[in-house]
Structure 1
Amino acid sequence: MSADADAGTGAERGRVGGAGRAPGAGGGRLGRLGAHDAAARRLVDELIGRAVRGLPAMRLPAHRDGFVFTLRGDPPVAAGTSLRYAAIVALGVRHLPADRRKEALGGATVGELVTALTGRLEDTGPAAVTSLGDVALVCWAAAETGHSRLELALDRLAEADPADGRAVYTVDAAWTVSALAAVRDAGGPPAAERHLGRAGRRLLDGLRRGGLYSHEVGGTGLVPRYRAHVGCFADQVYPVQALARLGGDREVAAAAAVAERICAAQGAAGQWWWHYDARTGGVVEGYPVYSVHQHAMAPMALLDLADAGGPDHLDAIARGVRWLAAPPETGRSLLPGRAPGEPVTTWRKVARSDPRKAVRGVRAATTGLRPGWRLGSLDRRFPPVAIDRECRPYELGWLLHTWLVPSPRE
């Protein structure tokens, strides 16, 4: 197999069925959403088309990380680079038809992108990739595309993942499980299966008494004590996805319990809130509300859970998607101007007019002292009326991955 040709990746070999369908066509997840809520389906269809057209503006062909960190402002200006965002783009773009893959990647193939990402894992010294989450995402992309350098990525993942009981960030732990589950599904080596067993147990054991995750698992010490009880939305959805993909009755039941908590807490207009108390399952602070949570990350986790035999949360998914078009906080859509070639799919978030993030800090501290303790005056002083005019490539990658990945039901 040639790692540099799209013909060598799993999506193109047909291992992942349905990859040749045009976005928005046919059944699958989009069909299930459309049968449940036609308006939400139309919005996702539009977002997918805009993502394909917008990704080339985020591409950095001359840079090894492949993609910018963000497009910020109106009109948008590129800033920074991101290896992990490029890996997420690879996970999403691989599900597009061949011509649209190249369109989204500015003429490159998915194989070429993953080759560049795995090459970054060979760097040493100051350029070395040491983040467990970054390595896990690259490994996941290599596994899903059947890349010839998967063994290298697996070796680096084993090196990056501490085996001595040290704490790791919950999101990194979840991505490690998802990556190794993809390796298992591709018929990976026994060592990867053993690593998956350890990583899965760590994630299961990290679930707190309140039915949610805090910001770290496998130990303590990464997070200041005053907010050690707090877990963000990402700390919930990535474990739901990972446990669902891991499979097994205990794992799916744990994922379903977390999903039930966040769905019960969902806002009246479909908002997926930001910070939770892992001890009680309550909301610590709702804002910001992020667009990517609404159109991609929440649906991604909940749909993976349903595909694993867990409960179906299509109502919550549809409400979350519809929030983008008419957020009551601002009265303005999170979709910027829809001109041809517009590189921004959605504005990044609705946030409080609180540039120093004081509300989040205060609420972490007060709920740490007494669960549920909220200072209502903060809501009045810092209303959630600010729109963050920014868009990042991982938002588009997860969007494509969420809605175009074929499910076992197909």
Structure 2
Amino acid sequence: MSVTGGGSLARTDGPRLRRLAETDPAARDVVAELLRRALRGLPRMRTSEDGGFVFTMRGDPARPAGTSVRYAAIVALGAAFLPEDDQRAALGGDSVAEVVGALVARLGDTGPGEITSLGDIALICWAAAETGHGALEPALARLAAADPPGERPGERPVFTVDAAWVASALAAARDAGAASGTASGTEGHLERARDRLLAGLDGRPLFAHEVGGTGLVPRYRAHVGCFADQVYPVQALARIGDDRSVAAADRVAGRICAAQGAAGQWWWHYDARTGGVVEGYPVYSVHQHAMAPMALLDLADAGGDGRLAAIARGVRWLTAPAETGASLLPGGEPGEPVMTWRKVARDDPRKVVRGVRAASTRLRPGLRFRSLDRRFPPVAIDRECRPYELGWLLHTWLSPTARE
């Protein structure tokens, strides 16, 4: 795909968009419009203090709030597929190499600015591997120090999303080493990361919120896994690429696709023991246009089922959600900093429905108390947009790696 003209997509004929167009031209047009919005919106999400990215743009009109290293790394992963001139237009004057360089440099910081989150470190390593950064090896050493092997299996619980990002980062480093003809030295760590994810299923159809042990989440919701807990491991296992990993990823993908809503919704909370839906809302726009397609298309690249019809249904939900009737694609005029509204949610600010359904399904799988649907209808639109949503959108649809 070629991107020119300061954020105007001159051609939208990349391999993934072509495949989507063959299945559903209307869904392809939605994605093309979202890509145009992403390139307009990203420059407004840079922070003036450190050249990073805001945590969110909130409200109407949208205003920036907070900062996020994690989101900066995800933006870099997506913008890496742009030509350098378009990278600079999208990133407020910087190239992806400069953004990644600043992130890698921060891995050496100590004190108040030290990056300690395993997921953040993994994402920075992933971005460094994808972009061929010269300091990849010390970054990987930092990742290894943050994710040491346990003496016994199951003694070091890790959040599932973090575990998946570690595996994706190491798979990218392996591939970078193979492409450059150098040994990455990550084989042992990658094998442990793969085995941790596979063990996280433990005979269940889906992932819970943690792998490798217990204790990170309350007992009443230990059986629950969110949508992110499914798609990031599917992506990681697909990128690792051996037969066992791809087969496990395909099984998980099949379950979440079977549970997809009639209008294309990718639901939020699942029972990892049964594969059933614990609570459907919120439905997030980034799941619809980026995260589900990203995982499923990476799986197709690895030989799994691409499930393009499910991807198309999810994308089309954005334009007219059955729950609200209001599109999650506001404005769209040049200068508008919001790409999509963040989610459709229940009118339930205290998250009562999620808590009750987690506790009830812990005792009896499938128990839902359907009166909660009437008491807390999914009619609220979260008027917010975060940079990682744009990063994963670019990463998903600009990727040149899809196989025809």
TM-score category of the 2 structures, normalised to the smaller one? over 0.9
The residue that corresponds to 2:23 in the other structure is 36
Partners of 2:357 and 2:368 within 8 A in 1:
yes
Match of 2:398 among 391, 394, 404: 404
Separation (CA, whole Å) in 1 of partners of 2:184 and 2:325: 54
Match of 1:94 among 65, 77, 80: 80
The residue that corresponds to 2:161 in the other structure is 171
Match of 2:223 among 217, 229, 253: 229
Separation (CA, whole Å) in 2 of partners of 1:309 and 1:352: 37
- Worse overlay, 90-99 or 297-306: 90-99
Query: Cα RMSD between the aligned structures?
Result: 1.4
Question: CA, structure 1 residues 56+205, in 2 after alignment: closer, same or farther (shift >3 Å)?
Answer: same
SS in 2 for 1:350: strand
The residue that corresponds to 2:61 in the other structure is 75
Separation (CA, whole Å) in 1 of partners of 2:14 and 2:123: 28
Residue 191 of structure 2 aligns to which amino acid in structure 1?
G
Q: Which whole-Å deviations, capped at 9, do the CAs of 1:324-367 have from their partners, x for residues lacking one?
A: 00000000000111221211110000000000001000000000
Separation (CA, whole Å) in 2 of partners of 1:208 and 1:23: 47
The residue that corresponds to 1:3 in the other structure is none
Q: Which whole-Å deviations, capped at 9, do the CAs of 1:122-147 have from their partners, x for residues lacking one?
A: 11122211111000000000000000
Partners of 2:14 and 2:400 within 8 A in 1:
no
Residues 1:153 and 2:139 are matched in the alignment: yes
Match of 1:347 among 341, 344, 355: 341
Per-residue deviation, 1:238: 0.2
For residues 55-134 of structure 1, the aligned pairs below 5 Å read 55-63=42-50, 66-134=52-120
Residues 1:333 and 2:327 are matched in the alignment: yes
Residue 378 of structure 1 aligns to which amino acid in structure 2?
L
Per-residue deviation, 1:208: 4.2
Separation (CA, whole Å) in 2 of partners of 1:204 and 1:19: 38
Match of 1:368 among 359, 362, 368: 362
SS in 1 for 2:142: helix
Per-residue deviation, 1:26: 2.4
Residue 169 of structure 1 aligns to which amino acid in structure 2?
F
- Worse overlay, 98-107 or 283-292: 98-107
Per-residue deviation, 1:175: 0.4
Partners of 2:129 and 2:172 within 8 A in 1:
yes
Residue 170 of structure 2 aligns to which amino acid in structure 1?
L
The residue that corresponds to 1:254 in the other structure is 248
Per-residue deviation, 1:245: 0.2
Residue 334 of structure 1 aligns to which amino acid in structure 2?
L
The residue that corresponds to 1:186 in the other structure is 176
Question: CA, structure 1 residues 363+119, in 2 after alignment: closer, same or farther (shift >3 Å)?
Answer: same
Separation (CA, whole Å) in 1 of partners of 2:97 and 2:112: 26
Per-residue deviation, 1:148: 0.9
TM-score if structure 1 supplies the norm length?
0.93
Separation (CA, whole Å) in 2 of partners of 1:38 and 1:380: 36
Partners of 1:24 and 1:45 within 8 A in 2:
no
The residue that corresponds to 2:12 in the other structure is 25
Separation (CA, whole Å) in 2 of partners of 1:86 and 1:119: 13
Residues 1:52 and 2:46 are matched in the alignment: no
Partners of 1:53 and 1:342 within 8 A in 2:
yes
The residue that corresponds to 1:5 in the other structure is none
TM-score if structure 2 supplies the norm length?
0.95
The residue that corresponds to 2:194 in the other structure is 200
Separation (CA, whole Å) in 1 of partners of 2:219 and 2:189: 30
The residue that corresponds to 1:214 in the other structure is 208
Separation (CA, whole Å) in 2 of partners of 1:378 and 1:23: 47
The residue that corresponds to 2:295 in the other structure is 301
Percent same amino acid among aligned pairs?
72
Partners of 1:208 and 1:279 within 8 A in 2:
no
Separation (CA, whole Å) in 2 of partners of 1:332 and 1:208: 41
Per-residue deviation, 1:193: 1.4
Partners of 1:208 and 1:214 within 8 A in 2:
no
Partners of 2:2 and 2:12 within 8 A in 1:
no
Partners of 1:19 and 1:95 within 8 A in 2:
no
Kindly tell me the number of residue pairs found equivalent between the two proteins: 392
Per-residue deviation, 1:400: 0.2
Residues 1:391 and 2:385 are matched in the alignment: yes
Per-residue deviation, 1:407: 1.7
Residue 41 of structure 1 aligns to which amino acid in structure 2?
R
Separation (CA, whole Å) in 1 of partners of 2:300 and 2:343: 27
Per-residue deviation, 1:393: 0.1
Residue 161 of structure 2 aligns to which amino acid in structure 1?
V
Per-residue deviation, 1:152: 1.9
Partners of 1:288 and 1:350 within 8 A in 2:
yes
Separation (CA, whole Å) in 2 of partners of 1:213 and 1:26: 35
Separation (CA, whole Å) in 2 of partners of 1:166 and 1:19: 44
Partners of 2:14 and 2:397 within 8 A in 1:
no
Separation (CA, whole Å) in 1 of partners of 2:46 and 2:321: 30
Q: Which whole-Å deviations, capped at 9, do the CAs of 1:47-84 have from their partners, x for residues lacking one?
A: 001100100000114315x0000000000110000001
Partners of 1:54 and 1:342 within 8 A in 2:
yes
Separation (CA, whole Å) in 2 of partners of 1:326 and 1:306: 28
Partners of 2:137 and 2:184 within 8 A in 1:
no
Separation (CA, whole Å) in 1 of partners of 2:112 and 2:336: 36
